[in-house]
Amino acid sequence: MKYLLSFILITSFFVGCSVKQLEVDLKLPNKTDIGTQIKPVIVSKDKALIVDDSKALEEIEIIENTIPMKLAFIYPSKLVSKYAKSSMNTVLGYFDYKKIKYEIKVFDTLNEDVFNIENAFLSAKEQGYENIIALFTPNTMQVIHSIDTSDLRVYLPLASKRNIEFINENFIYGAISYEDQIKKLLEYSSSNNIMFYQSSFLGNKLKTLYETISPDVKLIKEIKKKKNDFKDIVKDNRLKNSTLFLNTPIVKTSILLSQLRSYDIQPKVILSTQINYNPKILTLTQVKDRSNFVLANSIDKVDDSLRDTISTFGADIQYNWVDYSTLVGINYLYDENESSLIQTHVLDNEVIYEPRLLITTAYGFLEIK
């Protein structure tokens, strides 16, 4: 049953421009049927609907027998679709592992329009959903804080408490802190600080944080998105014995690491945040390319069985920090800080992450003690 639930939740279709809810009953296969590759069928009161793959979650209602916990999942599909599918799978995997009977309803606001967001929260509240996971970007926090969310518990996986002027006491803020990661990484800094970055929302954010925390940056170079040959950038003697900070995504980082070694340009240490905490770095580079590479990671260890269960639903709580944040959130909404399955806890309405520093080996990541 869990495979079918997961597959159905990551399919969808759009109707109109405002928030709409499609409520249907699900006809689930017997346990003996699980494992057969079939197209999911949503059975409504009138007829069955064949659902094709799409980019957004479908606004459906999932009901499992007697329902002790009701959860609303609210998100803008046009902005966070790639996170939403995996985030929802994390929730389903957690419920399956805990053997929790539940009712989940998905509200797609399509975008971060004020009317759509207000309508989604109002609909969830009117229908008795007191626990909310709201997967919205930091840009919309002012809107969410201005609407009526009384009597609701709202978990915000992508929002940081530090960037909010007025805190709602019924909100829990779940974003990792890149600021804390950069501060931790700069423990390895020398006086010769250099940064490479790629212009994007996250890249520019990391650049600003780095410049603020480390004001003595000697050199900043932009890595162009459509360029993969960086000879003119890495063949720079100023990089030798420097502290090189890479605010670049995984593929660009791998190319830069390889080309630095290829042209025999060796910084003293190369640093990066969670943006490059990904097993792909191990396959895209050679061990020698990463000999002085140090990463920060805020994802803590979880129970092995829980991690494996969530993995079967298609989520990744080991390397995807949004999935991990969602796990911390649903665990807190259900169990508060009582569970020993997860080491990361909530304190004063904020998830407290402890960044750790890692090096890479031929076989994986190794924490620096």
pLDDT tens profile 190-210: 778 999 999 998 999 999 999
What percent of the chain is modeled with pLDDT above 90? 70
pLDDT one-digit tens code per residue, 206-232: 999 999 998 788 999 999 988 888 999
CA 336 to CA 331: how far, in whole Å? 6
SS3 content of the chain, % helix, strand, coil (to 5): 35, 20, 40
pTM: 0.82
pLDDT one-digit tens code per residue, 230-254: 999 999 999 999 999 999 999 999 9
Q: Kindly report the CATH class assigned to 2-177+302-352.
A: alpha beta
Long-range contacts of 152-161 (CB under 8 A, 24+ apart): 152/121, 152/124, 152/125, 153/333, 155/131, 155/329, 155/330, 155/332, 155/333, 157/87, 157/133, 157/322, 157/325, 157/326, 157/329, 158/80, 158/83, 158/322, 158/325, 161/349, 161/350
**How is residue 100 written in tokens?**
């929790």
Position 278, amino acid: N
| Residue 350, CA atoms < 13 Å, CB-side half-sphere | 13
> Is a pLDDT exceeding 60 seen at residue 10?
no
Could you please state the CATH topology (level 3) that the domain comprising 179-297 is classified under. Answer: Rossmann fold (3.40.50)
Instruction: Tell me the pLDDT band of 25, cut-offs 50, 70 and 90.
Output: very low
328-349 average pLDDT score? 91
* Per-residue model confidence (pLDDT) at position 68: 82
What stretch(es) of the chain map to CATH 3.40.50.2300? 2-177+302-352, 179-297
